[in-house]
């Protein structure tokens, strides 16, 4: 009798531990699926600037050297400290995944006594999540990654044109196996082999976008996918086996403890510190219009790119200074109305100009550089970029568009154009 009681207590403790492990695996699987979709979405929409900006903020907090000075007076090429940027990205991914994991785990623990918890953590739902959470996140990117353009992620997926059909067929196979299992249960080893085949099929499909999406590739992101995706299935299988062997035994759902709450608070605070940008300063309502100056420089390149600067003052004065490969060397002046200057300020305000981090911009090899500086109400901010490293959209591309707008407003071509005989 005592031996039976000991056996039951041991079995109950094992089931309780497996339930805790399944909560962690389930939460981590959902976080990995969401993070996978987010990383691919970030690249497709030219938003990897935000990931690099956060990585640089992490480097600054850790006092890791990131980049050399950004200027338009010299050819700035390959000046980023790639090892520091790589470390910053890995820390960013790690902190973000941990924070998201703790939030999902907290939600599960808070709902531990509800019917919803029993539904979510039941073998059927948790099994489907273990099998299809990450593939479903891939499916959610259908219109993003399948557009026929120059996106490397889309090119890497060109070998899977029947993805929708494969996904549907996989689900149908799982449903069919489930129905067969109801009348003639499979052995644990059989289910384990089927799980292995499932993950072996999906991982080669899911991994390529993570390796082709960024200029600096996160090593941790694909490793998490390779580890977490099968891990969630293994834990689900062990938990299901324990439940089938002891159908009468149940383990009490855990409530959030002090350590869980502390981890949530600390990880959220860290995420806010690294992800939130600096404080923006409004540009559209200057206290003193006469104090406003917007200056734009175009720097040199490996070629005959025109090099000059244009300053737009709040008084309406336009100052041009030509340096190289321009029609007019030296100083030139003109005037514009205040509304044109306000249009530039509105465009920069939409960019949150005072929060931009030019060390997070991408750079090409031989393109010209541009720089924009704003002085307003005693505050000054200067941001430098090249003219091709920002993709089709995103803050860097929009900054280049504002530089083109300054050229248009000031009609700089009257001084820059030289008919092919520009003085060096």
Task: Indicate the helix (H) or strand (E) that contains 370.
Answer: strand 369-376
- Cα-flanking dihedrals φ and ψ of residue 342, to 5°? -65, -35
Phi-psi region of 377 (alpha: psi -120 to 50; beta: other; left: phi over 0): left
Chain CA centroid to CA 388, Å: 20
Q: What is the CATH number of domain 289-416?
A: 3.30.1560.10
Could you give the strand order of the β-sheet that contains 317-324, starting from the edge strand earlier in sequence? 330-335, 317-324, 307-313, 293-298, 369-376, 379-386
CATH 3.30.1560.10 domain extents, the chain: 289-416
Global confidence as pTM: 0.82
| Contacts for 399 with CB less than 8 Å, ≥ 6 apart | 351, 356, 370, 372, 383, 385, 390
Q: Tell me, what's the pLDDT at 100?
A: 93
**Max Cα–Cα distance, the chain, nearest Å:** 103
Give residue 141's pLDDT. 73
DSSP-derived letter for residue 80 is: B
Residue 15: per-residue pLDDT: 67
The reported pLDDT for the residue numbered 216 is 61
CA–CA separation, 29 vs 35, rounded Å? Answer: 10
* Interior/surface letters 272-296, b for 16+ CB within 10 angstroms, e for the rest: eebbeeeeeeebeeeeebeebbbbb
* Eight-class DSSP state of 112: T
CA-to-CA separations, 379 to 286, 293, 403, in angstroms, rounded? 11, 10, 20
pLDDT at position 157, please?
A: 42
CA distance 79 to 103: 38
Residue 281 CB partners (closer than 8 Å, separation 6+): 354, 376, 379, 381
Q: How many CB atoms lie within 10 A of CB 422?
A: 17
Environment class of 370 (CB within 10 Å of its CB; exposed 0-12, middle 13-18, buried 19+): buried
**pLDDT of the residue at 154:** 42
What pLDDT, on the 0 to 100 scale, is given for residue 130?
87
Where are the extended beta strands (E) located within 55-205?
Answer: none
Dist. CA 110–CA 264, nearest whole Å: 13
Q: Select from 309, 287, 292, 321 the least CA-distant residue to 381.
A: 292
Where do we find the tokens 């980049």?
Answer: 67
341's tokens: 């200057």
| Closest C-alpha among 352, 360, 338, 403 to residue 381 | 352
3-state secondary structure of 320: strand
Strand partners for 386: 369
Mean pLDDT by 10 residues, the chain (424 residues): 55 73 90 88 78 89 70 59 84 92 89 80 82 84 54 43 70 80 79 87 81 66 88 86 66 72 91 88 88 91 87 94 89 91 93 90 79 93 81 82 93 84 65
Instruction: Decide the pairing of beta strands 379-386 and 369-376.
Output: antiparallel
**Can you spell out the DSSP letters for 47-65?**
-HHHHHHHHHHHHHHTT--
């Amino acid at each position: 009798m005592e031996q039976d009681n000991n056996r039951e207590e041991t079995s109950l403790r094992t089931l309780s531990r497996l339930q805790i492990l399944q909560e962690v695996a389930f939460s981590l699987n959902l976080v990995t699926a969401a993070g996978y979709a987010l990383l691919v979405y970030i690249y497709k929409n030219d938003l990897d600037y935000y990931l690099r900006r956060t990585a640089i903020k992490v480097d600054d907090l850790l006092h890791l050297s990131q980049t050399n000075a950004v200027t338009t007076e010299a050819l700035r090429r390959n000046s980023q400290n790639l090892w520091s940027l790589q470390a910053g990205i890995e820390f960013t991914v790690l902190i973000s995944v941990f924070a998201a994991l703790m939030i999902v785990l907290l939600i599960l623990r808070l709902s531990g006594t509800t019917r919803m918890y029993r539904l979510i953590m039941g073998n059927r739902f948790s099994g489907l999540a273990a099998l299809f959470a990450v593939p479903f996140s891939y499916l959610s990117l259908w219109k993003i990654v399948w557009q026929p353009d120059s996106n490397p992620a889309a090119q890497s997926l060109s070998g899977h044109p029947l993805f929708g059909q494969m996904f549907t067929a996989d689900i149908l196979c799982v449903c069919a196996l489930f129905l067969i299992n109801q009348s003639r249960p499979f052995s644990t080893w059989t289910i384990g082999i089927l799980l292995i085949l499932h993950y072996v099929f999906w991982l080669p499909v899911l991994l390529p976008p993570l390796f082709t999406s960024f200029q600096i590739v996160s090593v941790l992101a694909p490793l998490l996918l390779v580890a977490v995706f099968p891990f969630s299935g293994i834990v689900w299988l062990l938990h299901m086996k324990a439940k089938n062997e002891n159908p009468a035994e149940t383990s009490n759902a855990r409530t959030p403890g002090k350590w869980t709450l502390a981890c949530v608070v600390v990880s959220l605070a860290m995420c806010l510190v690294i992800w939130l940008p600096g404080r923006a300063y409004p540009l559209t309502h200057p206290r003193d219009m006469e104090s406003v100056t917007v200056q734009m420089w175009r720097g040199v390149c490996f070629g005959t790119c025109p090099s000059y600067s244009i300053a737009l003052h709040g008084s309406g004065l336009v100052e041009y200074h030509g340096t190289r490969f321009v029609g007019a060397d030296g100083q030139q002046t003109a005037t514009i109305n205040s509304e044109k200057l306000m249009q530039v300020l509105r465009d920069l305000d939409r960019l949150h100009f005072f929060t931009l981090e030019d060390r997070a911009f991408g750079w090409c090899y031989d393109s010209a550089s541009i720089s924009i500086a704003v002085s307003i109400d005693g505050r000054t901010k200067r941001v430098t970029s090249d003219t091709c490293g920002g993709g089709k959209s995103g803050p860097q591309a929009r900054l280049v568009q504002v530089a083109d707008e300054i050229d248009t407003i000031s009609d700089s071509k009257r001084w820059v154009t030289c008919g092919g005989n520009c003085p060096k």
